[in-house]
A and B are shown apart, each in its own frame.
Chain A
Amino acid sequence: MGVVNHLPTRRELLVGSGALFAWSQMPGIARAEGRDPRLLVIVLRGALDGLGAVAPVGDPDWISLRGDRALVLDGKPPALPLDAFFALNPAMPNLHRLYKSGKAAIVHATATPYRERSHFDGQDVLESGLVKPGMTSSGWLNRALLALESGGRVDPRGSRALGIGSVTPLVVRGSAPVMTWVPQRLLPASEDTQNRLLDLYQHTDPKLATVLQARMKLASLGGALGTGDPMSDDPTLAPPGIARVRAYFAEAAGTAARYLAKPDGPRVGAMGFVGWDTHIAEGAASGQLYNLLGALDGAFAAIESNMGEAWRETVVAVVTEFGRTARINGTQGTDHGTGTVAFLIGGGLTGGRVIADWPGLKPAQLFEDRDLKPTTDLRAVLKGLLRDHLRVEEKVLADAVFPGSADVRPMGGLVG
C-alpha cells in the first residue's frame, strides 16, 4: 500500500530536540579533584528497537524470533561483532570503533520502571525520574543540578541551563533556570530593543523576564561559536530525505558539543531526536531503522570531533522511553514494547563491553510473552553516571533525583 515512511522535518526535529542544559561552572567536587566533566543526555523519542540496534546473535532463539529481519554476522551488510554474544547494527561503524577502543558501552535489556506502553507516559517517567507518570513538573537532570547547587559547591550565579529548541523537554525542566538556544534564521532584534523589553517584563511579568534574560545571556556566550546554522535552508520544503535528517542530527549534536567544550560554557546538556516509532517497515541491516541509527552514529562522530580536548572528560548517555515488541508485527515493523538498549559513549567512559543480564528470547522469557524482558533498571545506569562522573551524592540521587530508588543501586565502574 502507498504508505510513506515517516521522516521528520528539520523543524519537527527541532521541536523534538530539546535542551542542551547546564551550568557554566564546574561541578564543585569534581573541580576539587582537578576534573572538569561533561555530561550530555540524548533522548530518542518514539521508542528505539533495542534488538534491531544491538542483536543477540549468540542467542539460539534469535533467528526464529526475527526470521529474515534478524541481524546476523554473515548478513548483507554483516552486523558488527561486539563480543561472543552481541553484534551491532552495521549502520553504526563509529560506535563500533569507539566500543573497540573502550570509549563506548552498551546496556541491554534495560528499562525505566514504567511497564505500560504509552509513549507520552513513558517519556514522562524517563525524563521525570519518578516511578509513575503524570505527576511532575521537573526532570531528573534539572534536580541533579539543583542538588549540586544547594550543596553550595557551584557558584549559583553561573548556574544556567541551556536549551536547544522551542519546546523545553521535561528532563531539563525545573527550578534550576533554563537557557534556550535556538538557531538564528531571522535577523535578531537589536540589543536596545531586547533591553527595553526586558525592562518592561521586569515591571509586568517576571516569568517572561527570566526567559528573556536567559536568552540574552546565552547570546553573549554564543557570539564566538561561529554561524553554524542547521536551519539555514528553506524550512518550507517538502519533508526531507534521510540525508537531511543525517545532516540535522550531526549539526545539532555538533553544536551541543561546541557549547559543552567551551571553557566557560555549560557542562551538562540534553537534547532529543524523534522518529524512532517504527510501526511500519522498520528494516534491519537496511531501511528505516538502519538510516536513523546511521544518523545517530554520525551525531556521535560530530560530538567526538567537536569536543576536542574535552572529549577525554565527556560522557554521552543515549536513552529511550521503552523498547519495542520482540517479534515483528503485521506491517513489517514493531509495536510498543519494554526492554531496550542504552548507548554510553565518551572519552571518560570505561567501555568496551555490553552490560546485560540476558533474559533470553523464548516465549516464556519474554515480558508478557511479547517484549524483551528488562533485567537492568535504567536508573541504576543514570545514577552511576551522576555519582561517579558528576559526583552527585548517593543519598541525593535516591531521595531527590530519582525519588524512591533507594533499592536501585548506582551501577559502578562506568567511568574511569
Chain B
Amino acid sequence: MSSSAKADSVLALHRFGMGPRPGSIAAVGTDPRGALIAELDRPLVLNAAATLPSSAKAYRTVADANARRTARAKQAQQQAKKQQVAATPTMSEDQTQGQVADKDAAEMAAKQAADAIPDPGRPIYLQEAKVRTEAALSADIGFAERLVWFWSNHFCVSANRIQSMSGAYEREAVRANALGRFVDLLLAVEGHPAMLVYLDNLGSMGANSTAGINRSSGLNENFAREIMELHTLGVRAGYTQDDVISFANVLTGWTLVPPGADPQHGGDFTFNPRLHEPGGQTVLGKRYEQEDAEQGRAVLRDLAAHPATATHVATKLARHFVADDPSPVLVEQMARTFRDTEGDLKQVAIAMVSSDEAWRGPPSKLKRPGEWVVGMVRATGITVVDPVRFTGGQELLGEALWRPSAPKGYPDDEPSWIDGVGRRLDVANNFAERITGMADPQVIIEDVFASEIAPEVKQAVSRAESRQQALALLFMSADFQRR
C-alpha cells in the first residue's frame, strides 16, 4: 500500500469509523470509500443483545422493585412507631424534641428497609453500556456504529429519567432503524416509551378530552416542541407557538401501559383515547382529522418529509463527521439525497463518504470524549471493558453515556469540548498506567497506525521516560484527538 493510500485509510478510520485497531488498515484495504459503504450492508446486530431485557421488561422490573421498596419502608416505619410508643409511656417536658427524634428514627428505619432492595435499573444500564461499547471496540471500521451513536444523540433520552430503558431504547428504536428510512426512525423513537417519559408526554391531556374535563388538567408542550425544534425541522424553521400547541394536542394520548397494571404489557406504548384531545388539528397549515394515534403519525410523516428536516439532518450529520462548519456543497449533496430518496439514511451516509468534500482538509475536528476514549482503547486491541470504569471515565470527561443534560444532546463543536482536553490527560495517564504491561507504543505506531503519525509524536514517544509516559503522550497527541 502506498503512503497516501495508508493515510486515506487512517483518515477513513478516524473520521468515519471508531479509529484504527489491529488489522483495521488491512480491512479498509485500498478503497476506503468502498470499504465504508460495504460495512453498511452488514446487519447492525449486537452480540449478546438477546440476553438483555426489552425496554418494557426493564421498566416493569424497576417498577416492581420500587413497589417492594415502598412496602418495606412502610412496614419498617410502622414497626418503629410501635416500638417507640411502647418505650415512652409518659409525656415529658421534652415532648416535642422526643417526638422529632422518634420521627427521625422511624424515617431512618424506613430508609434502611428500602435501601435493602437494590435498584435493578443500574445493572441493566451497565450491561447495556458494556454490550454497546464492545460492539464499537470490535467493529472492523465502525462506520455503522458511529451512525448509531450519532442518531442516538440526535434523538437522545436521559438515563437520569429512565436508567433501565436507555440502552434498550437505543437498540429497539435507533439501532433498528439507523440505516433505514428517517420516517421509520422518527416513528420508532417518538413512539418509544423512553422518549414519552423523557419528554413529559405521559400525563399530557387535551383540555376537551375525557380525562382533561374530569381532572381539569391539561397539556404539556415539551414533547411537541422538541420534536419540531430538535428532531425534525430545526429551530426557527417557520413553525409557530400555535403549531406547537396544536401538535401537542395531536400527541395527547401517546403514553404507556402503567407498569404495575399489566405483567405482560406494562411499559409498552399505548394510545389512550381518554387523554386525547378530540377533533382535528392544524399543524403547519395542514389539517389533520384522524381520530387516534394515526393523527400523530400523519404529522410525523409530514415532518419527516419536510425540506427543512432534510437540511437540518444533513447539516448535523456533516458537522458531526466532517467539520464544525461543513462545506455547504457537502450539506446540499446530502440534503438532496435525503429528499430524493425519501430520507433513506443509508443512501445519505453513502452520499457523504462518496463526496470529495468529505475527505478534504487535514484532520482538524476534535473528537468528542466518547469517540476519543474508544479510539484509545481500540488502538491497544482491547475488546472487553469493565462498564463501571468505562462509563465513569466518560462521565468524568463530560459526556456521560446516555445522560446529556438537555434534549439537544451533546454538542458537536470544538469550543464545547476543547477546554476539557486537559482532563483527558488524567484519563490517558490513568489508562496508560493500567495497560503499560500489555501495550507497546511502538507497535501501536507501526502496526496499528501503519506509521501514519506525525514525526514529532514519534520522536516524543521514543524519548519518553517510561512506557507509561510514551503511551500517555501518544493517546494525547493530535493524531488521536483529531479526525
Contact = CB atoms under 8 A, between A and B. Distances in A.
A binds B: yes
Interface of A: 1-4, 6-9, 11-12, 14-16, 19, 45-46, 116-121, 133-134, 137, 163, 165-168, 173, 178, 180, 182, 184-190, 192-194, 196-197, 199-201, 203-205, 207-208, 211-212, 214-215, 231, 235-236, 238-239, 274, 277, 279-280, 329-333, 335-336, 368
A205 B478 contact: yes
Contact of B163 (A182, A214, A238): A238
Contacts of A187: 426, 429-430
B426 A11 contact: no
Contacts of A331: 200, 203-204, 217-218, 220
B101 interface: no
Q: Which of A14, A45, A165, A189 has the most CB of B within 10 A?
A: A189
A9 B403 contact: yes
Interface in B217-238: 217-222, 225, 229, 235-236
Interface string B391-415: 1100111111001011010010011
A200 B395 contact: no
29 contacts: A1-B202, A2-B63, A2-B259, A4-B162, A6-B160, A6-B161, A9-B403, A15-B398, A45-B405, A120-B235, A133-B235, A134-B236, A168-B416, A180-B420, A180-B422, A185-B396, A185-B426, A186-B429, A188-B425, A189-B428, A197-B472, A197-B473, A199-B460, A200-B477, A208-B418, A211-B422, A236-B392, A238-B119, A238-B163
B420 A182 contact: yes
B207 to A, nearest CB: 8
B356 interface: no
B428 to A, nearest CB: 8
Given A117-B241, A193-B473, A212-B425, 12 more contacts: A8-B160, A9-B160, A166-B397, A173-B415, A186-B396, A187-B429, A188-B425, A203-B456, A214-B422, A274-B405, A280-B200, A331-B220
B419 to A, nearest CB: 4
Contacts of B255: 1
B477 A204 contact: yes
B464 interface: yes
Interface string B208-220: 0000100001111
Contact of B219 (A117, A118, A329): A329
A187 B428 CA distance: 11
Contacts of B476: 197, 200
Contacts of B454: 204
Nearest to A188: B426
B415 A182 contact: no
B473 A182 contact: no
B291 to A, nearest CB: 21
Contact of B398 (A14, A188, A200, A336): A14
Interface in B415-438: 415-423, 425-430
A211 B418 contact: yes
B309 interface: no
Contacts of B119: 238
Contacts of A205: 478, 481-482
Contacts of A199: 460
Contacts of A203: 456
Contact of A7 (B160, B202, B415, B457): B160
Contacts of B408: 119-120
Contact of B220 (A182, A185, A330): A330
Nearest to A173: B415
Contacts of B225: 117-118, 336
A330 B259 CA distance: 22
Q: Which of A8, A178, A182 has the most CB of B within 10 A?
A: A182
B423 A166 contact: yes
Q: Which of B203, B397, B408 has the most CB of A within 10 A?
A: B203
B205 interface: yes
B102 to A, nearest CB: 22
Contact of A168 (B415, B426, B473): B415
Contacts of A329: 218-221
Contact of B396 (A11, A178, A189, A335): A11
Contacts of B54: none
Closest 6 CB pairs of A and B: A330-B218, A166-B398, A215-B422, A166-B420, A189-B429, A180-B419
B236 A197 contact: no
A165 B217 CA distance: 39
B35 interface: no
B113 interface: no
Given A1-B258, A204-B477, A330 B217 contact: yes
Nearest to A116: B236
A236 to B, nearest CB: 5
A46 B204 CA distance: 20
